[in-house]
Structure 1
Amino acid sequence: MAEQVTITRLGAKADGIAESASGPVFVPMALPGETVTIERDGARARLVSVDAASPERETPFCPYFDACGGCATQHMRHGFYQDWKRDTLVHTLRQARIEAPVAPLIDAHGDGRRRVTLHVRFPDRAMRVGYMAARSHEVVEIAFCPIAEPALKHAAPPVARAIGEHLRSSRKPLDIQITAVETGLDVDVRGHGPLMDKDRLSLIGLAEKLDLARLSIHGDVVVERRPPAIRMGKALVVPPAGSFLQATRLGEETLAGLVTEACQGAKRVADLFSGVGPFALRLAEKAEVHAVETEAGAIAALDKAFRATPGLRRVTSEARDLFRRPLLTPELNAFDAVVIDPPRAGAEAQAKQLAVSKVPLIVSVSCDAATFARDAAILMGSGYRLERVVPVDQFKHSPHLEVIGILRRETAKKRR
């Protein structure tokens, strides 16, 4: 049944929130101050119409916005959006009882996302290629993605469709990750399982037809026609198939710039959860670096890039599960600075070890404000001061935010 409500505020996931007798109701694509008609399903609702619009509302630029689940904020004016995103971080820190200066939001969208994951599904003998609808497993078919880099914007859907056609006989749900690299497109297919020889040969021919740099299945390389290189400072890195990268090129450069600026003057730096080296390889232009990462393939790619790049200081590397085996105090005390960039779950075990160390400077990078605040609170409870927090928006048009915090030990730890 349709009903009319007034939106009072925005939630952390960009939903408009209306108050009702039974509690808050979350309305996607609605803004504070608006009167809207909704159809409610418990605490969630579908927006039927905007009856009195906010002056902060604008027309979304993507024709798929109301169906695709990839973006959540294209209906917001840019300044309002930026304020909301920064305020969400401030609120999260305040909830954790953390007081620290929060810098203005940095827009790091640049040319757009350098990686997209398109879903291929086979309902009722048809084939659908696109993104998932919001809170759904339904595929919204797209012909292009306006928030992707120019190399991906129009090219990614046809590539995913061609691969889906070649693997159609299995009718397995496929997730096709396509990354724009220096040498073309790097494609990793998930969901299919091991290939038969005929399928492998077919895909090798397809990769040549599509002029792909590399094509892999579940990280297993089918064909590499050109090394799928990515520039990180002075170095060229060839990451393992399907490995983690920052969402945008400008996002990576912005984060790395903030990290290297914070570590200025440090002679020995530990880069924890280093990935393929976006921070370590840039830090090595001025400092010795020890890079630690769970994935052995990422560490191997980092090490190879270091050895092939003249002019860098020494980079040592280690494959190690920092959730199960965090660096311990005696190891940490050898460094002037520690950079830590964990997955969304944060790094509680490593933060506890850092808290009892003598490391004078910690640069914490996170894609989740809540776990950033949790880990920062552990460090602050043991004598670190959170000098400043910088929000970096490389996940534009979404609620996701990258955060950098600079923590400095105010006084040397006393020995017992």
Structure 2
Amino acid sequence: MASSFIDKARITVRAGDGGNGVVSFHREKYVAAGGPDGGDGGKGGSVILQVDDNLSTLLDFRYKRKYSAPNGMDGQGARKSGKDGADLTIKVPRGTLVRDAETGEIIKDMSNGKPYVLCKGGRGGWGNSHFATPTRQIPRFSKGGTPGQSHDILLELKLLADVGLVGFPNVGKSTLLSVVSRAQPKIANYHFTTLSPNLGVVYVGEGRSFVLADIPGIIEGASEGAGLGHDFLRHIDRCRLLIHVVDVSGSEGRDPVEDFDAINAELIQYSADLEKRPQIVAANKIDVMEDPENLERLRKHVEKLGYPLFEISAAAHQGVDGLMNKVSEQLSTLPPIVVYEPEYVPRPPVIDYSQPLDIQRTDDGIWVVDGPWLQRLMSNVNLNDYESRMYFDRTLRDSGLYQRLEEMGIHDGDTVSLYDYEFEYQQ
């Protein structure tokens, strides 16, 4: 039986390139000397992630893996700037972790409703009107736009639920969820009934509610990827509290103490943090219990470990109200749902200095520098930030650009033009 639930996906996103500036001069009848009027290129569209609470899976990303925002348009004459590329908004379920595909580091936890700019669009290039000054009245050059940022990312969905139902398959988790909330999970008497996590909201009184998740049945070996367990263990990471459902009926010949210990071993092996996660044990199916000794052995075992035990029958609606009240009471003392902090630090672009730069000196003494690696470099630095600007300066020096300019005869105070950035050269 195949699962339609998709909780991991790898995609490539690319922001739009900036449009090129143009060289243009004003041409009008009876006007003897029209000035430069080339417009700037538009900026490229950015890629933005946005939470959509109507989504519950990453299924859409199975069919589409590449996302690109539009480029900015080139500038025009008459000082007309090119149109900006439209931003591309990608909608994801709440609770999606965005990771760098290469390192696995967390870029962003999409748990709140704020949009996140994942890739910035390229800056538009300047038209020649931008370079006009009192001493440079006829600039005959413009600048190309810079490339938009791109990124290979992993999307990983971790459900945002306060409480997670854990236990072996077919112990009654789905039935319990359906009884205490309005959720309508698929329920049947066979293993792996639940192929995707189900969420329900439990109301226990005025102003008191919490989100309960039915995590698919875990089997021994799940932490190593056996069965379905490994795909869904990650959803327990977010839960503040676990309800450990154990079948004490003996109808399938299972030992409740062994089942309880096996599930906890899987949780601990998957994540050491889960060992400290608060648990409430729900001894289920007491209405069809064949041997009361099973219940008593389980009670002594879990209470010795410090876990409270509630006797319930989800199918008969027996004991569930008391269990839910206890859950609500305990949640009021626990910290909020975990939100993961970003780990990813953007790496400086790899510069291939073997690619030659094109250096030209205009008639009015401007040193214009162009080249593919310089484009990439400028799309990844923030020239308004001091440290970024210092890195930019070191890179230009290490590349041999300054040495080439000196060999070509540059003087102190000359203007160097790099796309939409200009500076006075100082030795």
The reply to whether TM is greater than 0.5 is no
Which TM-score band (shorter chain)?
A: under 0.3
Q: How does the TM-score come out when normalised to structure 2?
A: 0.22
